[in-house]
Structure 1
Amino acid sequence: MTHILALWGRCTLPLGCPGTLFQPSRTATVWRNLNPFWGEEYTLHLPLDFHHLAFYVLDEDTIGHDDIIGKISLSKETIASASPRGIDSWLNLSHVDPDEEVQGEIHLDVKLLAEAQGPRLRCHIIEARDLAPRDLSGTSDPFARIFWGSQSLETVTIKKTRFPHWDEVLELHGEEGPLRVEVWDWDMVGKNDFLGMVEFSPDVLLQCPPSGWFRLLPFASAEEDAGGKLGALRLKVRLAEERILPSVYYQPLIELLVESVLSPAQDDTVTPLAMLDEVSSGESRQDIATQLVKIFLGRGLAVPLLDYLNLQEVSRTTDPNTLFRSNSLASKSMEQFMKLVGTPYLHEVLKPCVNRIFEEKKYIELDPCKIELTRTRRISFKGTLSEEHVRENSLGLLTGYLGEILEAITASVDKCPPAMRVAFRQLHQRVEERFPETEHEDVKYVAISGFLFLRFFAPAILTPKLFDLRDHHADPQTSRSLLLLAKAVQSIGNLGQQLGRGKEQWMVPLHPFLLQSIARVKEFLDKLVDIDAEALEAQPRLLFPPSAVIKEGYLHLRKAETGALVPRFAFKKRYFCLSSETFSYSKAPEWQVRTSIPVCRICAVERVDENAFQQPHMMQVITKNRDGQLDTLYIHLVVGHPQKTVFPGMLPSCHPGTFRGNRWTCCLQQDRTVQGCSRTHSAVTLGDWSDPLDPDAEAQMVYRQLLLGRDKLRWVWGNVTSHMYHILYM
């Protein structure tokens, strides 16, 4: 049986704002396993008024629908009331009742009128939003039905939408009792599917007639706990609630952070970065490092930030053997920088070999305690091999794979992003200046390889799914092969300094190959840091060479037009190519006629709400034409995730929806030229819409950490500088 986990964020925005159903996050499928392990982490950006998070465990079927095994639903209150570390426990799965799987809101205006012949109820059913998709197309065919006493009426059915607009007035006479409004999905065959309901008591109808948006609820029933019969799921869930202020409030803090890097003080113990390093714990340091790198990356100053942090780390290190071995702010920032900037580079280097390992599924084992001779029949037609033959065969396979990986890495100097190379060059210089002695000659190499091999290449080899090198986790046999390869790559990254010192003596047969690789690695590192830093300073925000192709592949696109819902066939399939200079597309890769848009004319690249075209993975590219007017291209991605670069003429806001039916589907404004209702992002750092560059949100996280640590700052330094004190209490 195959298992899969899906994570949904069900959210309702404040009244008067359009709701949003967040695109579900889905783990990889673990095949034929009743005790699956995922180890995957997701970050969802939720509105302040979200209600529940639901986790579904499904059995994936190659034909037909996936079967739902069970679910866990956590309310916002449950998550918020947990410890600061959040929820970390095993939770039993519950049965899934289709009548309880509801979401969205309905817009009503209800009046109860007193007349001579009896009360008259007037229910204006205006519209609904974010209804659950019940059809294969990802939409529904919703209609509304009202019940008042023994009477009922219903609206017309709106086909293929999760955002129906009825604008119907239903009237009932001469009854008393509660009012119930239900929303259903109409089906031609079989019974209709329940989409949610709201109910109002007679007192509410008399004293405060309902008018506005109301959250749809399931039928009242106690959720049944299966008592472990359906299995249990171990979850780690942490809720961090932040209120983001306008940009102007964060400018003093950002300017102070930038100033401490560009104009470092002689006494660095009172700089904001030194304070952050002091007050952040091991758990929060990675988050702080990520936010700092994003802030400086957006301003084109990520490399100076790393140089500043690395200099502080190197200066206070007395033993070169301990350099960057701790999870300091410097080491975490360097690690996050590589992930944010080097993901395309990582894919280009490792993906071919990783794919080969997954496809070949060779049995590899060197540890005598783990060798299973019964598996050797897969590698020999002569029956079961001896333990010695298994180890010899495994050694040959390992060295073959390692040779391919090492060749790909050492030949990748020109593929490495310039920003990474400059950061490594500066680190190389700082370490060489701090430890110039002959006996410490290898320290400058180990400092770089420790990041590049131990914290970048080796983890990606160990868990390719977490680095998007593969869509699924490895099976146990392939996972063991990847573990052995990751261990070997770590040894190469340590330049053989740890060989023979560990308990895994069964790795000794691999040592000759590892020792022979050290000279090649040093030569590679020398070439890697041989780059002119001034070239990057001339274009400080450029992460890729001007001629380099950042991303290419097939997509579907069309130009923005007013009118009704756009059918899928209206999108034209094109092959696109994105570089640091142009975004171009044509009918095929070899097609001579191409449409090219200079990057300098691109004003925004943003995600489009799923409801705009009734399909996910939609994005928009807003450009400025020669007349200064804004044009919009809607794009349906076919390959991977979007990749955004930095645009000089960035718009401050845009509409995440489309203009259809004389209104924007996102904010319902009826003016086509009205200012956008959603802020644009300066870039997407990981090629994933869930991780945009958002300076205000990043600065808020840094400010919050300083605020939480203000008491510790007073105790450590006795007093905070007046400028910093003002910012902490702004």
Structure 2
Amino acid sequence: MKAWPLLAVSCSLHRSGSSDPYCIIKVDHEVVARTATVWRNLNPFWGEEYTLHLPLDFHHLAFYVLDEDTIGHDDVIGKISLSKEAIAAASPRGIDSWLNLSHVDPDEEVQGEIHLDVKLLTEAQGPRLCCHIIEARYDLAPRDISGTSDPFARIFWGSQSLETVTIKKTRFPHWDEVLELHGEEGPLRVEVWDWDMVGKNDFLGMVEFPPDVLLQCPPRGWFRLLPFANAEEDAGCFLFYFITLPTSSFLPSLDDTVTPLAMLDEVSSGESRQDIATQLVKIFLGRGLAVPLLDYLNLREVSRTTDPNTLFRSNSLASKSMEQFMKLVGTPYLHEVLKPCVNRIFEEKKYIELDPCKIELTRTRRISFKGTLSEEHVRENSLGLLTGYLGEILEAITGSVDKCPPAMRVAFRQLHQRVKERFPGTENEDVKYVAISGFLFLRFFAPAILTPKLFDLRDHHADPQTSRSLLLLAKAVQSIGNLGQQLGRGKEQWMTPLHPFLLQSITRVKDFLDKLVDIDEEALEAQPRLLFPPSAVIKEGYLHVRKAEAGALVPRFAFKKRYFCLSSENLSYSKAPEWQVRTSIPVCRVCAVERVDENAFQQPHMMQVVTRSREGQLDTLYIQCKNVNELNQWLSAIRKASVCNEGMLPSCHPGAFRGNRWTCCLQQDRTVQGCSRTHSAVTLGDWSDPLDPDAEAQMVYRQLLLGREVLRWVCMEKSAVPEPQRAHTAAAAAHLLAVIEDLEKAHKALEQQEKEQAGGGSLHP
């Protein structure tokens, strides 16, 4: 598992002098994420970050940059392809640099697998090669306008070659042919081509076996199709293997001053602390120990701070852990508090501006029937709109004490107590409030208001006008979170008209914080260790649905618009959210969640949910989404909800059964085994992810590897730590070095296990 940030890509010049670029991410040619389009820009900045859960048997991770066209197909600008081998060999730090986009060559866009059974027989008249070409499957590149291919296979052995028959209009050909060649020696090459009546045939991929493999271990099984041998491989990032790291190694006593956890804080770099904090919080959250972890980190931070004005101002492990804890535990709370107001701001699209240098009077015609307003009128109108929105936001926040998760409230209560003990006296009366509001307002509510899409409050980024309104609101919320301490000290004096409202809000905020920390720590004992209760809604929204039926072409109106609701227990849908009559599917019966070929129903963005009834019969529900992002989100959500199900299908049909045959593989048996392998392990990471301590611990392991030399130096008592603590520090470093050694052994054992599983003559895991 790894977060792959999409930062910036330099695009080549479009013929019209501009481009509308966006980026898509593919795992083994399956699109798993798509960024927003940056309109009319040759140097786009997306700033979007995705966490992808990758299966251990994946082959490639690819990033494509495309130019969106309103008419016709989108143009491919370039791509970056990262092989699994290159990713595994990369530096543990991953990649944080510019990479050159490569040209997209159709002969290198190879996708799919082929099923072979090869035998090399020794006879009196010479060697005889029997190559049983059984089938090929899944994502052979569709080269025809129909979205399919007309594939045939061709084998080469020495100077001889033979071909199979051509299977028309399918991406899942089933040849079941045995091709025999006599009296030659040398490597065997199997190629797959798409036959064209006009023009040259299109290359779909190849696999090659050297002579020693044919003699010692004849190929038998599924093999991944590869591009021609001159195709170049790109350098890659970092692959994480799943290794367990015991939490008992890190959770110290609050009286300890030198601990492995403290050492981890010291050896971690500033840019990596957010990732480390996220994984640590998830690990301890899964064990029900997140609040004690935060209390230890906060106590360590508070005890080392001498000036209360600098408390939690740095990006320490304590501040990052609190920030990530709020996101993990408090995202449903954040949605409930802010979503109504944020939606209103997006829908109303009001022009708001207080800075005289940024006011555009031409825009005021939208809000006045009397022509252009003066600058003063614009500021007065903007002030009224801002105070109105702020009043609604403040009312929602200060009235949300009972909605705040108990774990957050207990963590804030402990923080409140630690700060109060460290900075007593009336002169420091506000410090205990600022410590909490600094996290809750400055690092939680304000960033969500500024960029709602990154907090799942909206599906798309705001337009420039709405984005400016959100920025002004976020600044105001930050000032409220600082309890007005910075008002009038900055350069933005044009915010002064808003100061009276902000100062009046401080009393309400303090009262809210007092109520927030008024909770008994025993309230946590009855709380589950999951991120959300089993009955909580994971995802909901309108989709189009249709049950599987045999028959001819399905008209568009056969898909009904329904409101879907997914929890960890059920996937249900009805005509409207408030509708009483609902169709409910237990999540425990889901056995596959996959994409559907566009040509199956002549409609895009389709998915299927395959379930098994109590009688053992497989039923399929076809669902259409609005766009590829929504499709990926629903695929990911249902896959994660059903991650622990037994009896998940290894394969399914990406087409539909119409006209007495499957549209994908053309098989006429409705119950025949699926022609495409399933992808239940490919998901997007978000706040609702199930806790996976093994996966989270791998990030900590990576950080320990990066800090190994520092730990060795400390272990030899050569650090700058004062003499009385040097021995304790060395002992803590030695403890972590022992943990690293144990994990390395487990890591090597897992690598060896993977190699053994990949053996036996089959290149397919």
Fold shared by both chains (TM-score > 0.5): yes
Provide the residue aligned with 1:614 in structure 2.
602
Q: CA deviation at 1:440?
A: 1.9
TM-aligned CA deviation for residue 327 of structure 1: 1.4
RCO (CA 8 Å, sep 6+): is it higher in 1 or 2? Answer: 2
State the alpha-carbon separation in 2 of the partners of residues 385 and 33 from structure 1.
32
Inter-partner Cα distance in structure 2 for 1:454 and 1:37: 24
RMSD, aligned CA = 6.7
The answer as to 2:529 corresponding to 1:531 is no
Taking structure 1 as reference, are residues 181 and 445 closer, same or farther at Cα in structure 2, changes over 3 Å only? same
- Secondary structure of the structure 1 residue equivalent to 2:411: helix
Shift in Å at residue 472 of structure 1?
Answer: 2.6
Q: Secondary structure at the match of 1:385?
A: coil
5+ residue gaps, structure 1 = 1-10, 16-26, 226-252, 636-648, 717-727
Distance, in Å, in 1 between the alignment partners of 2:249 and 2:362 is 62
Contact preservation (8 Å) 1:162, 1:611: no
List per-residue Cα deviations over 1:317-352 (Å, max 9, x = no partner).
332222211212111111111111222222333233
| Residues 392 and 138 of structure 1: CA distance in aligned 2, closer, same or farther (over 3 Å) | farther
- Report if the CA contact (8 A) 1:557-1:572 is conserved: yes
Instruction: Check conservation: 1:341, 1:417, Cα contact below 8 A.
Output: yes
Note if contact 1:418-1:544 (Cα within 8 Å) is conserved in structure 2: no
Distance in 2, matches of 1:623 and 1:558, equals 14
Question: CA distance change for structure 1 residues 154 and 122 in 2, over 3 Å: closer, same or farther?
Answer: same
Per mean C-alpha deviation after superposition, the further-off stretch among 529-538 and 159-168 is: 159-168
Are the equivalent residues in 1 in contact too, given 2:53–2:683 (CA < 8 A)?
no
- Give the Å deviation of 1:224: 14
Assess if the C-alpha contact under 8 Å between 1:28 and 1:471 holds in 2: no
Q: Distance between the aligned counterparts of 1:526 and 1:513, measured in 2?
A: 21
Structure 2 counterpart of 1:714: 712
1:685–1:693 contact (8 Å) kept in structure 2: no
1:52-109, CA deviations, whole angstroms, 9 ceiling, x for partnerless residues? 5432122234565433233334556776777665444444544433232112333333
Structure 1 counterpart SS, 2:264:
helix
Q: Is the 8 A contact 1:146 1:182 kept in 2?
A: yes
Tell which deviates more after alignment, 355-364 or 43-52.
43-52
Contact 1:138 1:614 in 2 (8 A): no
Q: Identify if the C-alpha distance between structure 1 residues 678 and 179 changes in structure 2 by more than 3 Å, giving closer, same or farther.
A: closer
SS in 1 for 2:152: strand
What's the offset of the Cα at 1:39? Answer: 0.9
Contact 1:682 1:694 in 2 (8 A): no
Instruction: Quickly say closer, same or farther: Cα 1:309–1:633, change in 2 above 3 A.
Output: farther
Does the Cα contact within 8 Å between 2:130 and 2:179 map onto a contact in 1? yes
CA contact (8 A) 1:197 1:219 kept: yes
Residues 380 and 90 of structure 1, relative CA distance in 2, 3 Å threshold = farther
Q: How is 1:443-482 mapped onto 2 (pairs within 5 angstroms)? A: 443-482=431-470
Taking a change above 3 Å as real, the CA distance of residues 133 and 572 of structure 1, as seen in their structure-2 partners, is farther
- Post-superposition CA distance 1:702-721 (Å, at most 9, x none): 234335434434544xxxxx
Query: CA–CA distance in 1 between the matches of 2:672 and 2:696?
Result: 28
1:340 aligns with 2:348: no
The Cα shift of 1:12 comes to 19
In the aligned structure 2, how far is the partner of 1:419 from the partner of 1:670?
A: 56
- Distance between the aligned counterparts of 2:84 and 2:369, measured in 1? 58
Distance 1:48 1:463, change over 3 A: same
Displacement of 1:216 in angstroms is: 2.1
Cα 1:166/1:708, change in 2 over 3 Å: same
Structure 1 residue 677 corresponds to structure 2 residue 675: yes
On the 8 A contact 1:417/1:545 being kept in 2, the answer is no
Do the aligned partners of 1:144 and 1:154 also contact (CA within 8 Å) in 2? yes
Cα 1:601–1:110 shift into 2, 3 Å = closer
Q: Secondary structure at the match of 1:512?
A: helix
Q: What is aligned with 1:30?
A: 38
Q: 1:12 touches 1:51 (CA, 8 Å); kept in 2? A: no
User: In 1, Cα distance between the equivalents of 2:764 and 2:115?
Assistant: 41
Q: After alignment, is 698-707 or 212-221 more displaced?
A: 212-221
> Per-residue deviation at 1:497?
1.0
Q: Which position in structure 2 is the counterpart of 1:257? A: 246
| Identical-residue share of aligned pairs (%) | 93
Deviation for aligned residue 1:537: 0.9
Query: CA distance change for structure 1 residues 623 and 36 in 2, over 3 Å: closer, same or farther?
Result: closer
Judged with a 3 Å threshold, the aligned counterparts in structure 2 of structure 1 residues 596 and 306 are, in CA distance, closer, same or farther, namely: farther
CA contact (8 A) 1:139 1:614 kept: no
Residues 545 and 156 of structure 1, relative CA distance in 2, 3 Å threshold: same
Structure 2: gaps spanning 5 or more residues: 1-22, 28-34, 235-241, 624-646, 715-762
* CA shift for structure 1 position 689: 9.6
1:157-203 C-alpha deviation (Å, 9 max, x unpaired)? 66887665543212356888875433245689998654222356789
1:536 and 1:542 in contact (8 A); partners too: no
Shift of 1:677: 18
Q: Which residue of 1 aligns with 2:340?
A: 352
Q: How many residues align?
A: 657
Of stretches 662-671 and 158-167 in structure 1, the one that deviates more from structure 2 is 662-671
Deviation per CA, 1:568-594: give whole Å up to 9, x if none: 999998756566887766676555566
The CA deviation string for residues 643-669 of structure 1, in whole angstroms up to 9 with x for no partner, is xxxxxx999999999999999999999
Quickly say closer, same or farther: Cα 1:106–1:285, change in 2 above 3 A: same
Select between 449-458 and 611-620 the one with higher mean Cα deviation.
611-620
Cα 1:550–1:532 shift into 2, 3 Å: farther
Inter-CA distance 372–422: structure 2 relative to 1 (3 Å threshold): same
Between 1:524-533 and 1:41-50, the stretch displaced more is 41-50
Residues 240-278 of structure 1 deviation map (CA, whole Å, 9 limit, x = unaligned): xxxxxxxxxxxxx9999644787x436513433222222
Task: Tell me if the contact between 2:154 and 2:191 (Cα under 8 Å) persists in the aligned partners.
Answer: yes
Distance 1:729 1:457, change over 3 A: farther
TM-fit CA distance, 1:46 = 4.1
1:287 to partner: Cα distance = 1.6
Which shifted more, 705-714 or 135-144?
A: 135-144
Q: Structure 1's 74 and 480: CA in aligned 2 closer, same or farther, altered over 3 A? A: same
Distance in 2, matches of 1:516 and 1:267, equals 41
Structure-2 change in CA distance of 1:581 and 1:424 (3 Å): farther
Instruction: Classify 1:62/1:630 alpha carbon distance in 2 versus 1 (closer, same or farther; 3 Å).
Output: closer
- Partner in structure 1 of residue 141 of structure 2: 132
> How far has the Cα of 1:38 moved from its partner?
0.3
State the TM-score, normalized to the length of structure 2: 0.67
For the residue of structure 1 that corresponds to 2:66, the secondary structure is strand
Q: Note closer, same or farther for the CA distance 1:659–1:306 as it changes in structure 2 (3 Å cut).
A: farther
Distance 1:360 1:13 in 2: 33
**Which has the higher mean CA deviation after the structures are superposed, 378-387 or 110-119?**
110-119
Alpha carbons of structure 1 residues 677 and 295: separation in structure 2 relative to 1, 3 Å: farther
What per-residue deviation string (whole Å, max 9, x for no partner) do you get for residues 361-413 of structure 1?
Answer: 33333223333444444444555444333333333332233223223322333
Are the aligned partners of 2:65 and 2:76 in contact in 1 as well (CA < 8 Å)?
yes
Distance 1:605 1:205 in 2: 38
Q: Which moved more, 1:486-495 or 1:200-209?
A: 200-209
What secondary structure, in the 3-state scheme, does the structure 1 residue paired with 2:40 have?
A: coil
Q: Distance in 1 between matches of 2:231 and 2:680?
A: 46
Task: Write out per-residue CA displacement over residues 197-253 of structure 1, whole angstroms, 9 at most, x where no aligned residue.
Answer: 23567898789865555442334667899xxxxxxxxxxxxxxxxxxxxxxxxxxx9
Q: Helix, strand or coil for the counterpart of 1:606? A: strand
8 A Cα contact 1:99 1:219, kept in partner: yes
Tell me the secondary structure at the aligned position of residue 309 of structure 1. helix
| Cα pair distance change 1:338/1:162, threshold 3 Å | farther
Q: Is the 8 A contact 1:301 1:540 kept in 2?
A: no
Q: For the Cα contact (< 8 Å) 1:275–1:706, is it kept in 2?
A: no
Structure 1 residue 496, shift from structure 2 partner: 0.9
Give SS of 2:295's match: helix
* CA distance, structure 2, for counterparts of residue 32 and residue 432 of structure 1: 53
**Structure 1 residue 388 corresponds to structure 2 residue 376:** yes
